[in-house]
């Protein structure tokens, strides 16, 4: 039956060729044609099956092949085909059996033997492989591939000497036909031959062999490298040195050549003596001179130098890199940080550059070398990374923000900002920053992928998917699935881990198994190389491929996938109860039931929605011709009968290929103990113990194991028990029967280690041993609050500790959460807390920055800065009276220069136009009197100063008409006008405007780049500035009903009292400078003595009955309130102008600065309340009252008071009392000595067209409406200055209007 | 409608200062604006100018070829120029070029970057392509009080063509000059 007629036999040959040329469809047709006539022809049937297999019809394939085989059991073709089918399904054992069956029938079939050999090497059956190759060589001794294959077989069996013999024999046969010119394949063979000799350890032989090769080898570099290596190994140092020098001449950036050279001149020690160090540095220096473009020659001295020599070479290196602008500088440098001394030296250098660049645009304040502006940029960037590396997130953030301010277009800055925020536990903020980077450069796939990763880490899977497909092929039906096809494992892992964090086990497992599949594919992919490499002679590469494949799964991607999957399967096995205990805490049973019902309904609804969406998406994919995922939620995996067994399958390759990793065995224990496999669990423990006996997780596992053994008691088989007993004392140091003391010694041993993981493990152990010792376990967890543990505390292990406490139903869970929020205030909890307060208080927008112990622990905006944009940490806003501290400090700088003095010279000497009614007083008032609010100037004096367009000098001149108490007092009476006088006096002495001197003396030296004068300038400076809001009542504010106000130029004439703007970032920087008495970034920028003067009490502010949290008496320095809170001294000041609010507080002893900005009127108490709330939280102070609630209550009464005050200033209107004169009679110019002029005109009302009076003062203008008699009412347009009031004309009854009265002041007709 | 353009400028003035870095220490290069780096010019304009430009403005600058550029200093993008071509009613043979924005980040001023951008625009405006109407004049608006910018443009051959009162109603200094340069 096997013989076919001629025609069909030819056709059969054709279809065989179709298989080789991969024309499967054509082949299938041909097979069917034969089968029409000879339906029982076994070989054709088998071939048909093979074609089906390649056309994705798996079941039919097996059916046909089996049928064919049954019909023709004696056919080697059928067996061969069956073997191929098994092989394609990676069923290697079966395939090998089929091949050997086929070979039994047709002993000398080269094709089958060859396929057989490939499978043997694929399954690493080297001996079998060698056998098969021997047979092949007997049949075809001329075949090069077989010779080489045999050599490789011996090599891989660990017998390089036999391999050498094979190769030598083969080379012998070639003697007559050695190619004249070097030929690649021949050359590779020779080099491979040489590497085999090296592997025997006979280096001299290897060298001798190498010397004969040169003219036959293409890879000249390899020859030179090997030669140098051999010479060095043989101790022929002079020759080795020469060889390495040649190599360096070829490539002066290969670190290994430098290493070789160093060793060949006898300086190979890693710990260099002082003399040797000098020698190495000299050597490198000479190389640097020879190869000025070599980075290695510049970089290596940093590795070898120590002490002063290090500082010198590091200085040179850093400067050149920063000047050049090398973004990877920090990554390159950080390996040196293993050495603390070097780390400190580098920090010092970089901070020094920054200070010098700020001051003089050079690295060292030398006049000669002005650096490009990018030098400052890269220095800031470097420092940000440096502090991030040390996990000083606050400092890192402040440098990166400065860099962004400097050059907002540089993508790297946003990437680093993201990284810093990630380390600070702010995953959402990190994501936002990296997304900004992405938007700056849409074509960078790396950034796009990073952004995707940050989105997944922040739990935003939708965004992550949308972002990642931006780089997938647009024409595909299902671009997300394309990523799987492309084996983008990082994405599968990030998705899986994100799903796992969110408790979605099925989808997570699906992703982890995707990764597993990719690794299986990689293993499979090597199949093609067995033949290819032997044919093409890429032998050195082939051998390294084989070695790589043998430990492929120790790759971290596989390890991560297994770790994720193991956690999923363990969770499935443990089936934890639903995770709602936190939400339902404190509810009654009925409430809980209701809550859960509600939750369930919501879940059902959400489920329905997602299902509809999925169905829709599936339709879309089908339309475009894609394949729909049948099981998108990975139900296949969650329904696994034996989840632990599944996990073990994944773990097995790690046990084989990554046995040196402790994680492998820790996972193994977790699985075996759940299966009650005590022996295997013990084995895992022993392996872990051998790798790291003091591993934190291992201790917990040991305790678990001992407890399991104890629990099993007599049910443990004696043989098992014997094995356990044998190792018992090794594992437990003889304390296996007293676990409490075992754990106690673990704690004792690690008490100075400062490791949080060890702490948590110990706590868990204590709890496991005896749950009644919960409070002791809790105490251990809380130890991580002490300073010793700061270094190893991370956001992740805090979350783990939190979860652990929760699983114990610990009563201290909340306390711990509060602590964690304190350590990671950028974490969602703390931020949410502030956001809740903001909404509660009805504040449209605000920003808060907190600097604690050098860390910017929070710098964040909340709510909106205008109708549409968010308030951010960068948002600018007027700071009002906080300006006073700048004025006082600036004056202090002039005092330091000797141009002014605080308390000796009368101000009148500095500013002659400043005169008061009483000449004695004029001759006495000093700057300190003015700046500490103790001149006694009546407050109403300054009413006409607000909004005034008049010059400061004119306004000051009018002060001599004001009635004042004629003796100096120490009584505190707040005065903006006197600050204006002080500022003007300083300006007069300095010979510049006030604004200029503040800029020069304070703003610029401190790099307060976000601060300046005048709201007009603020609007120009950045579109990221806030608008002011007002509300009619607190209720309105809480309901979000605000009136948008104008930004008024209110303080121009009183700039020294309150005309500055800033943002919270600059404000905390300002606070830091004041806290450090004028020092910042390691430099004394302001006069220390004079800053201290501004912080010395000069006046007592009368405020009766303070609550016990505060100092008994509130005092005023110069521009600062001086107070204390719960035992902590603090300096602070409020500012308010046209609806904006600022507050800055400085706690010098606690090293804390709190800055706030708000954009609504009546927020004074909120700003204070927030400060109290924040200082309680950050400093962990005992809670004495709910500051937020109390500030809300008090603010409510403020609103009421304001309303009643507005009403009370206006007398009740008397009906039907017309004006005594026609309007024109009131027209004219009126004047008051103190407040200036008021002009009254008549004109047409824009709306009604009727004749109306208009008024205009130095600061206000508007319409007057008749009220009663000769009184007219006006409405002022700016908040917090003036509200509605009336103007009453005098003398009109007598027919002659002589004066008018405004706010109790008389203005006479001119 | 595109908002009024503004040249706050931003760029170098004629004054030479002693603290310039050595020219060997830096590299300058011009770059095209593409859909992929549009974010850069958006960021620049947001930082440099108080006017907010809408998406149609940015769509247009992708179409003007050499008349919209960014400038790199040591491979960092630090400034840019955006122009638009304006047809002249009733004149098919020529058109005007309007410089909507031209600016350089503060730390990078006085290094000749602004001049480099402007020179590039002027040189390209003078190259006539056969398929397009030739550019008769280049013009722009500048706040009356912005003396630095005025000086800068005058140095490059621009002249005051018109004073426009209240051209920037949203700013304090509302008045503007229209500066123009007629090309040969």
The arithmetic mean of pLDDT across residues A1237-1242, rounded, is 89
Say if CB A1057 and CB A1051 are below 8 A apart. yes
Q: Is the pLDDT at B18 greater than 50, yes or no?
A: no
CB contact under 8 A, B77 and A1023: no
User: Helix (H, G, I), strand (E, B), or coil: what is residue A906?
Assistant: coil
Exposure letters A216-248 (e unless 16+ CB within 10 A, then b): bbbbeebbbbbbbbbbbeeeeeeebbebbbebb
Residue with tokens 């009292």: A1057
pTM greater than the 0.95 cutoff: no
Residue of A nearest to B47 (CA): A1022
Q: Is the pLDDT at A1157 greater than 90, yes or no?
A: yes
H/E segment holding residue A1300: strand A1299-1302
The arithmetic mean of pLDDT across residues A564-593, rounded, is 71
Q: A376 contacts in B (CB within 8 Å)?
A: 107
Residues 115-154 of B with CB under 8 A from A: none
Residue of B nearest to A1016 (CA): B172
CB contact under 8 A, B74 and A371: no
In total, chain A counts a number of residues equal to: 1310
Burial of A249: CB neighbours in 10 Å, binned 0-12, 13-18, 19+: exposed
Rounded to 10 degrees, the C-alpha dihedral A906/A911/A915/A916 comes to -50
A464-478: per-residue pLDDT in tens?
Answer: 999 999 988 877 778
A352-365: per-residue pLDDT in tens?
Answer: 999 999 888 899 88
Say if CB A276 and CB A269 are below 8 A apart. yes
Residue B1: what pLDDT?
Answer: 33
Mean pLDDT of chain B: 85
Token output for A812: 């201290």
Residue A825: what pLDDT?
Answer: 61
Q: A409 contacts in B (CB within 8 Å)?
A: 40, 43-44, 76-78, 105
Residue B20: what pLDDT?
Answer: 59
Compute CA distances A602 → A106, A504, A580, A599, A607, whole Å: 69, 17, 14, 5, 8
Residue of B nearest to A360 (CA): B19
User: Helix (H, G, I), strand (E, B), or coil: what is residue A1246?
Assistant: coil
For chain A, which residues make up each domain, given as ranges? 1-104, 830-1204, 1210-1309
Residue with tokens 């502010």: A1101
Residue A826: what pLDDT?
Answer: 56
Residue with more model confidence, A402 or A1206: A402
Burial of A944: CB neighbours in 10 Å, binned 0-12, 13-18, 19+: buried
Compute CA distances A1266 → A1238, A1256, A1289, B177, whole Å: 17, 16, 11, 45
The arithmetic mean of pLDDT across residues A1044-1049, rounded, is 83
Token output for B107: 């730390």
Distance CA A1176, CA A1187 (A): 10
Residue of B nearest to A409 (CA): B40
Fold of A830-1204: Beta-lactamase (3.40.710)
Q: Is the pLDDT at A594 greater than 90, yes or no?
A: no
Q: What are phi and psi of A1242, to 5 degrees?
A: -120, 145
**Cβ-nearest to B43 among A324, A440, A443:** A440
A706-720: per-residue pLDDT in tens?
Answer: 999 999 888 889 999
Q: Which of B39, B54, B105 to mutate to test the interface with A (most CBs of A within 10 A)?
A: B39
Residue A446: what pLDDT?
Answer: 95
User: Helix (H, G, I), strand (E, B), or coil: what is residue A282?
Assistant: helix
Find the catalytic residue in B53, B58, B141, B167.
Answer: B141
CB atoms within 10 A of CB A952: 23
Q: How many CB pairs under 8 A join A and B?
A: 77
Find the catalytic residue in B53, B58, B98, B153.
Answer: B98
The answer to whether residue A323 neighbours chain B at the CB level (below 8 Å) is yes
Q: B50 contacts in A (CB within 8 Å)?
A: 1019-1020, 1023
Q: Is the pLDDT at A576 greater than 80, yes or no?
A: no
Q: Which of A479-488, A585-594, A848-857 has the lowest mean pLDDT?
A: A585-594
Distance CA A1191, CA A1169 (A): 6
Q: CA Rg, chain A, in Å?
A: 42
Q: Which of A399-413, A968-982, A1279-1293 has the lowest mean pLDDT?
A: A1279-1293
User: Helix (H, G, I), strand (E, B), or coil: what is residue A1030?
Assistant: strand
Rounded to 10 degrees, the C-alpha dihedral B47/B53/B55/B59 comes to -90
Residue A1306: what pLDDT?
Answer: 87
Closest chain A C-alpha to B83 CA, distance in angstroms: 20
Residue A585 pLDDT grade (very low, low, confident, very high; cuts 50, 70, 90): low
A861-884: per-residue pLDDT in tens?
Answer: 888 999 888 898 889 999 999 999
Residue A164: what pLDDT?
Answer: 95
Alpha helices in B72-144, H assignment, sequence order: 113-126
Residue with more model confidence, B184 or A1117: A1117
Q: Is the pLDDT at B7 greater than 80, yes or no?
A: no
A29-72: per-residue pLDDT in tens?
Answer: 989 888 888 888 889 999 899 999 988 888 888 998 999 889 88
Q: Which of A23-37, A208-222, A532-546, A1263-1277 has the lowest mean pLDDT?
A: A1263-1277
Residue with more model confidence, B171 or A317: A317
H/E segment holding residue A847: strand A845-852
Q: Return the CATH number of the domain spanning residue range A1210-1309.
A: 2.40.128.600
Q: Is the pLDDT at A578 greater than 50, yes or no?
A: no
**Cβ-nearest to A371 among B25, B37, B171:** B25
Distance CA A478, CA A485 (A): 11
Residue with tokens 């089968």: A35
Token output for A7: 């025609």
Q: Is the pLDDT at A176 greater than 80, yes or no?
A: no
The arithmetic mean of pLDDT across residues A1068-1092, rounded, is 93
Q: B25 contacts in A (CB within 8 Å)?
A: 323, 371-372
The arithmetic mean of pLDDT across residues B3-13, rounded, is 41
Residue with more model confidence, A584 or A650: A650
User: Helix (H, G, I), strand (E, B), or coil: what is residue B131?
Assistant: coil
A53-65: per-residue pLDDT in tens?
Answer: 988 888 888 998 9
B72 carries an active-site annotation: no
The arithmetic mean of pLDDT across residues A110-128, rounded, is 92
The class of domain A1-104 in CATH terms is mainly alpha
CB contact under 8 A, A371 and B107: no
B156 carries an active-site annotation: no
Residues 351-370 of A with CB under 8 A from B: 360-361, 370
DSSP character string of A516-528: HHHHHHHHHHTHH
What domains appear along chain B, each with residue ranges and CATH number? 26-182 (3.40.630.30)
Residue B10: what pLDDT?
Answer: 39
Residue B5 pLDDT grade (very low, low, confident, very high; cuts 50, 70, 90): very low
Which range, A394-403, A833-842, B81-90, is most confident? B81-90
Residue with tokens 């305790």: A703
Say if CB A909 and CB A926 are below 8 A apart. no
Q: Is the pLDDT at A400 greater than 60, yes or no?
A: yes
**Cβ-nearest to A323 among B25, B75, B105:** B25
Distance CA A1182, CA A1180 (A): 7
Distance CA A616, CA A614 (A): 5
Mean pLDDT of chain A: 89
Residue with more model confidence, A599 or A794: A794
Q: Which of A132-141, A522-531, A614-623, B146-155 has the lowest mean pLDDT?
A: A614-623
**Cβ-nearest to B43 among A370, A372, A409:** A409
The arithmetic mean of pLDDT across residues A1221-1232, rounded, is 88
Residue of B nearest to A437 (CA): B39
Residue with more model confidence, A603 or A921: A921
Residue B19 pLDDT grade (very low, low, confident, very high; cuts 50, 70, 90): low
A238-290: per-residue pLDDT in tens?
Answer: 999 999 999 999 999 999 999 999 999 999 887 889 999 999 999 999 999 99
**Cβ-nearest to B76 among A407, A1019, A1022:** A407
Say if CB A506 and CB A157 are below 8 A apart. no
């Amino acid at each position: 039956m096997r013989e076919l007629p001629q025609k069909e036999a030819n056709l059969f040959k054709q279809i065989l060729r179709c298989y080789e040329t991969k024309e499967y469809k054509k082949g299938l047709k041909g097979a069917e044609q034969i089968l029409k006539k000879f339906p029982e022809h076994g070989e054709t049937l088998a071939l048909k099956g093979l074609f089906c297999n390649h056309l994705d019809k798996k079941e039919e394939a097996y059916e046909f092949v089996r049928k064919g085989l049954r019909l023709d059991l004696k056919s080697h073709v059928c067996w061969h085909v069956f073997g191929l089918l098994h092989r394609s399904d990676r069923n290697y054992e079966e395939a090998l059996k089929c091949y050997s069956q086929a070979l039994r029938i047709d002993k000398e079939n080269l094709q089958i033997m060859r396929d057989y050999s490939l499978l043997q090497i694929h399954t690493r059956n080297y001996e079998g492989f060698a056998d098969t190759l021997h047979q092949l060589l007997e049949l075809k001794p001329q075949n090069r591939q077989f010779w080489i294959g045999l050599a490789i077989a011996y090599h891989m069996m660990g017998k390089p000497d036999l391999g050498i013999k094979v190769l030598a024999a083969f080379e012998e046969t070639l003697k007559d036909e050695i190619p004249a010119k070097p030929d690649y394949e021949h050359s590779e063979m020779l080099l491979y031959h040489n590497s085999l000799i090296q592997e025997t350890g006979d280096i001299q032989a290897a060298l001798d062999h190498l010397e004969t090769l040169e003219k036959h080898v293409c890879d000249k570099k390899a020859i030179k490298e090997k030669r140098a290596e051999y010479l060095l190994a043989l101790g022929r140092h002079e020759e080795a040195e020469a060889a390495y020098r040649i190599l360096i001449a070829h490539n002066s950036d290969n670190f290994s050549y430098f290493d070789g050279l160093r060793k060949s001149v006898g300086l190979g020690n890693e710990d260099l003596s002082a003399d040797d160090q000098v020698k190495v540095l000299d050597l490198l220096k000479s190389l640097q001179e020879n190869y000025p473009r070599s980075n290695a020659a510049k970089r290596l001295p940093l590795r070898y130098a120590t002490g002063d020599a290090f500082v010198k070479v590091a200085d040179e290196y850093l400067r050149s890199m920063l000047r050049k602008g090398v973004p990877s500088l920090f990554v390159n440098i950080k390996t040196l940080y293993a050495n603390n001394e070097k780390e400190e030296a580098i920090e010092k250098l970089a901070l020094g550059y920054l200070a010098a660049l700020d001051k003089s645009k050079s690295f060292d304040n030398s006049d000669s070398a002005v650096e490009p502006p990018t030098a400052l940029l890269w220095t800031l960037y470097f420092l940000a990374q440096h502090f991030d590396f040390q996990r000083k997130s606050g400092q890192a953030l402040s440098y990166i923000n400065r860099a962004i301010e400097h050059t907002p277009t540089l993508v790297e800055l946003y990437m680093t900002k993201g990284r810093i925020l990630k380390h600070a536990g702010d995953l959402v903020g990190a994501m936002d920053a990296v997304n900004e980077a992405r938007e700056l450069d849409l074509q960078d796939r790396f950034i796009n992928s990073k952004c995707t990763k940050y989105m997944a880490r922040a739990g935003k899977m939708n965004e992550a998917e949308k972002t990642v497909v931006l780089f997938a092929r647009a024409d595909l039906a299902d671009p997300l699935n394309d990523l799987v096809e492309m084996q983008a494992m990082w994405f599968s892992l990030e998705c899986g881990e994100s799903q796992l964090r969110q408790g979605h086990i099925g989808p997570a497992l699906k992703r982890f198994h995707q990764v597993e599949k990719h690794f299986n594919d990689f293993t499979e992919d090597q199949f093609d190389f067995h033949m290819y490499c032997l044919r093409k002679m890429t032998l050195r590469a082939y051998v390294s491929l084989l070695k790589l494949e043998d430990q492929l799964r120790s790759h971290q991607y596989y390890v991560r996938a297994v770790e994720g999957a193991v956690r999923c399967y363990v969770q499935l096995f443990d089936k934890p109860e639903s995770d709602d205990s936190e939400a339902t805490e404190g509810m009654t049973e009925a409430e809980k039931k209701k809550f859960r019902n509600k939750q369930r309904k919501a879940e059902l609804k959400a489920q329905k929605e997602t299902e509809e969406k999925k169905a829709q998406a599936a339709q879309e994919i089908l339309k475009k011709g894609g394949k729909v995922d049948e099981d998108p939620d990975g139900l296949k995996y969650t329904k696994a009968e034996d989840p632990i067994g599944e996990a073990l399958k994944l773990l097995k390759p790690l046990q084989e290929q990554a046995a040196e990793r402790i994680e492998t065995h820790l996972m193994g224990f977790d699985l075996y103990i759940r299966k009650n496999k005590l022996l295997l669990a013990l084995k895992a423990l022993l392996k872990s113990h051998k790798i790291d006996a003091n591993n934190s997780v291992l201790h917990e596992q040991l305790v678990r194991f001992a407890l399991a053994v104890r629990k099993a008691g007599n049910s443990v088989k004696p043989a098992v028990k014997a094995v356990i007993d044998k190792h018992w004392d090794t594992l437990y140091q003889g304390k296996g029967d007293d676990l409490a003391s075992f754990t106690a010694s673990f704690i004792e041993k690690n008490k100075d280690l400062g490791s949080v993981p060890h702490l948590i493990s110990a706590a868990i152990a204590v709890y496991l041993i005896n749950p009644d010792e919960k409070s002791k376990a809790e105490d251990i967890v809380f130890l991580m609050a002490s300073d010793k543990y700061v270094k190893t505390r991370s956001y992740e292990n805090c979350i783990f500790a939190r979860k652990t406490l929760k699983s114990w139903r610990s009563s201290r869970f909340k306390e711990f959460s509060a602590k964690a929020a304190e350590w990671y205030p950028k974490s969602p909890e703390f931020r949410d807390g502030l956001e809740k307060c903001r909404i509660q208080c009805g504040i449209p927008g605000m920003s808060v920055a907190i600097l604690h112990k050098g860390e910017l622990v929070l710098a964040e905006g909340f709510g909106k800065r205008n109708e549409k944009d968010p308030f951010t940490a960068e948002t600018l806003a007027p700071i009002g009276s906080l300006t006073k501290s700048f004025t006082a400090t600036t004056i202090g700088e002039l005092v330091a220069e000797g141009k002014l003095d605080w308390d000796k010279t009368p101000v009148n000497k500095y500013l002659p136009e400043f005169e008061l009614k009483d000449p004695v007083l004029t001759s006495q008032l000093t700057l300190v009197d003015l700046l500490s609010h103790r001149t006694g100037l009546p407050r109403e004096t300054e009413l006409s100063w607000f909004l005034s367009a008049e010059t400061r000098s004119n306004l000051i001149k009018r002060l001599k008409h004001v009635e004042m108490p004629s003796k100096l007092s120490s009584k505190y009476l707040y005065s903006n006008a006197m600050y204006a006088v002080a500022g003007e006096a300083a300006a007069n002495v300095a010979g510049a405007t006030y604004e200029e001197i503040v800029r020069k003396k304070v703003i610029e030296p401190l790099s307060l780049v976000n601060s300046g004068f005048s709201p007009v300038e603020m609007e120009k400076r950045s579109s990221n500035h806030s608008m002011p809001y007002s509300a009619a009542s607190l209720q309105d504010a809480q309901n979000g009903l605000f009136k948008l106000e104008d930004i008024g130029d209110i303080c121009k004439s009183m700039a020294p009292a309150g005309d500055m703007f800033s943002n919270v970032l600059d404000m905390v920087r300002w606070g830091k400078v004041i806290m450090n008495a004028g020092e910042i970034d390691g430099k004394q920028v302001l006069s220390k003595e004079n800053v201290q003067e501004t912080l010395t009490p000069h006046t007592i502010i009368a405020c009766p009955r303070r609550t016990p949290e505060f100092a008994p008496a509130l005092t005023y320095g110069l521009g600062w309130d001086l107070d204390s809170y719960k035992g902590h001294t603090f300096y602070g000041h409020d500012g308010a102008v046209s609806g904006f609010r600022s507050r800055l507080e400085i706690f010098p002893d606690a090293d804390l600065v709190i800055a706030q900005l708000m954009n609504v009127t009546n927020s004074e108490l909120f700003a204070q309340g927030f400060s109290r709330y924040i200082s309680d939280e950050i400093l962990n102070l005992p809670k004495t009252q709910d500051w937020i609630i109390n500030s809300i209550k008090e603010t409510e009464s403020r609103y009421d008071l304001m309303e009643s005050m507005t009403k009370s200033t206006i007398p009740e209107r008397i009906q039907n009392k017309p004006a005594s004169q026609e309007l024109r009679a009131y027209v004219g110019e009126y004047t008051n000595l103190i407040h200036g002029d008021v002009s009254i005109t008549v004109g047409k009302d824009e709306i009604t067209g009727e004749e109306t009076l208009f008024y205009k003062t130095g600061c206000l203008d508007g319409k007057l409406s008749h009220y009663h008699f000769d009184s007219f009412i006006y409405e002022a347009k700016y908040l917090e200055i003036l509200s509605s009031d009336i103007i009453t004309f005098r003398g009109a009854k007598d027919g002659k209007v002589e004066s008018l009265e405004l706010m109790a002041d008389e203005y006479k007709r001119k | 409608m595109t908002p009024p353009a503004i040249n706050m400028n931003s760029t170098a003035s004629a004054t030479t200062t002693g603290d310039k870095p050595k020219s060997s220490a830096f590299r300058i290069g011009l770059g095209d604006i593409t859909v992929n780096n549009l974010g850069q010019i958006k960021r620049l304009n947001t930082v440099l100018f108080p006017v907010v430009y809408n998406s149609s403005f940015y769509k247009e600058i992708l179409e003007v070829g050499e008349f919209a550029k960014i400038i790199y200093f040591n491979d960092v993008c630090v400034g840019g120029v955006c122009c638009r071509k304006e047809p002249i009613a009733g004149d098919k043979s020529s058109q005007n070029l309007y410089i909507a924005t031209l600016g350089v980040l503060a730390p990078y001023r006085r290094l000749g970057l602004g001049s480099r951008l402007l020179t590039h625009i002027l040189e390209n405006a003078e190259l006539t392509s056969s398929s397009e109407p030739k550019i008769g004049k280049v013009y722009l608006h500048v706040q009356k009080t912005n003396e630095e910018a005025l000086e800068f443009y005058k140095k490059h051959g621009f002249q005051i063509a018109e004073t426009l009162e209240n051209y920037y109603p949203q700013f304090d200094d509302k008045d503007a000059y229209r500066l123009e340069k007629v090309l040969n």
